[in-house]
Amino acid sequence: MPEELSRRLGTIDAIVVGLSAMIGAGVFAAFAPAAAAAGHWLVASLALAAVVAYCNATSSARLAALYPESGGTYVYGRRRLGPLWGYLAGWGFTIGKTASCAAMALTFGAYVAPGLARPLAVGAVAALTALNVYGVRRTAGVARVIVAFVLAVLAAVVVTGLLSDGTPASGLSAHPLLAGGPSALDAVHLVAGRPDPAGAVGGWAVLQAAGLLFFAFAGYARIATLGEEVRDPARTIPRAVGVALAITLVVYALVALAALRVLGPSLLARSPAPLAEVVTVAGAEWLAPVVRAGAAVAALGALLALLLGVSRTVLAMARERDLPGVLAAVDPARQAPRRAELVVGGAVIVLLLVADLREAIGFSSFGVLVYYGIANACALTLRPDEGAPPRPVPVLGLLLCALLAATLPLGSVLAGLAVFAAGLAIRLVRRRIGRPGNG
């Protein structure tokens, strides 16, 4: 019988873990490419992403309450749809979120010292992996501090942006982003694929931006993947998911309105550090270092929660032998899956050393949308006595997940399909090797 993890987390701990993933990833990473796609319709895309997130959160919370085990949709897929669907969910989550870990680590490095972004990113992953190895309680405590600081920084950005007169401050006419130029937009357009973020946009662009913004809402998966470590999961998980998602939506909407008011869609799209630009252009340059510190801390918070969640999915897949069984070990003293955590941390470091992650948001969104599409399909199989959500919720969630995945940038879709094909090939090989008489 596999070793079980200790149930140490309460409702507040679970909410904080979800917030540290959602707010850290979204505010400082997803708004620029989404603005490049949707332009002035950014808030509409944000609302659509929130609808998808609500459907996914509702389905995931009901399933997590029924199956309070590490692994999230990997576990639900196996139980409700069969081993193949569970494997696809686990594979998509693990690969997509490993890329997200690397993206968050690079975000941290870029805000602290752009010239040393990569070595700083490697150091951050190594340090937070060590923190996770020492147990989830310590991780939750650090996340609580990070979330409080980041929310304070975002409040300062929102107040500064909404109280400004909406025009550039005196003396900033030569600001690099205000001067602009085609080259300043290259990185954003590589992800979003739009030539003019300020121009007219169509439904496809709004959908594409919603798919990119969905990346920012996906943090509530951390709560579900911690199901085995949460006290009273049937009550705690649905409550934590709902509260964390509601807080995140309010924060995102206020930040988006402030950024659009001060920068407009074009300037927002071309900015590598949009929230620092909001306070600078609004005339509060003294706040810019604080905002950059907040961005770095938020990236660390998101990275910490992501490493935690991915390692738990690896643990669940190893228990079912979809990954090597050696990764299923739980340290008896620390009650943490140390081997899984070390392997995940090592994989992220390798990715940081060899990969260009400009399209990490789109790639991660594709994998996570597949993950949640499977979660909604699982929720459709629930009976009323199992806590089934209203049927339109998982139906809408499944349809919107498929739609947003299809409208992501072509490169992200093709890369995602290739990675899932590779995952299926690996599973086929492992199953053939594992058959009696093949060893």
State how far the Cα of 360 lies from the Cα of 412, in Å rounded to an integer: 8
C-alpha distance from residue 114 to each of 120, 143, 272, 366 (Å): 9, 25, 11, 28
Looking at residue 396, what is its pLDDT?
Answer: 96
Evaluate whether 15 touches 243 at the Cβ level (below 8 Å). Answer: yes
The domain limits of the chain are 11-432
Q: At which residue do the structure tokens 């357009």 appear?
A: 189
Domain at 11-432, CATH class? mainly alpha
Exposure class string for 282-302: b at 16+ Cβ within 10 A, else e: bbbeebbebbbebbbbbbbbb
Both tokens assigned to 436: 């009696």
31/274 Cα distance (integer angstroms): 8
Arithmetic mean of pLDDT over the chain: 79
Relative orientation angle of helices 42-66 and 73-80, to the nearest 10 degrees: 60
| Residues 183-229: tens digit of each pLDDT | 333 433 334 344 444 444 568 888 988 888 887 777 666 666 566 67
**52 Cβ contact list (under 8 Å, min separation 6):** 210, 214, 217, 372, 397, 400, 401, 404
Per-residue pLDDT, 290: 92
Q: DSSP secondary-structure letter at 114?
A: G
- Non-local (6+) Cβ contacts of 136 within 8 A are 5, 8, 9, 226, 229, 308, 335, 336
Q: Which amino acid is at 245?
A: L
Q: Which two tokens stand for residue 14?
A: 């679970």
Query: Can you tell me the distance from the alpha carbon of 290 to that of 304, in angstroms, rounded to the nearest whole number?
Result: 21
Distance CA 276, CA 293 (A): 10
Contacts of 291 (CB under 8 A, 6+ apart): 153, 156, 157, 273, 275, 276, 278, 279
Residue 13: CB partners within 8 Å, gap ≥ 6? 140, 144
CA torsion 71-72-78-84 (nearest 10°) is: -80
- Looking at residue 389, the DSSP 8-state letter turns out to be P
pLDDT tens digit string along 129-139? 888 777 655 55
Give tens-digit pLDDT for 318-375: 887 888 878 887 776 666 778 888 899 998 998 888 766 566 777 888 888 999 999 9
The answer, as to whether pTM is greater than 0.85, is no
Intervals of the chain under pLDDT 50:
1, 169-174, 179-200, 436-439
Report how far Cα 24 is from the mean position of its chain's Cα atoms: 9
**What pLDDT is attached to residue 249?**
86
Identify the bridge partners of residue 336 per DSSP, sorted by sequence position.
331
pLDDT at site 123: 93
Q: Where are the alpha helices (DSSP H) in 271-337?
A: 274-281, 288-319
Say whether 88 sits in a helix, a strand or coil.
helix
Q: What is the rounded CA–CA span in Å between residue 94 and residue 83?
A: 16
Give the pLDDT score at 436: 46
pLDDT at 349: 92
Residue length of the chain? 439
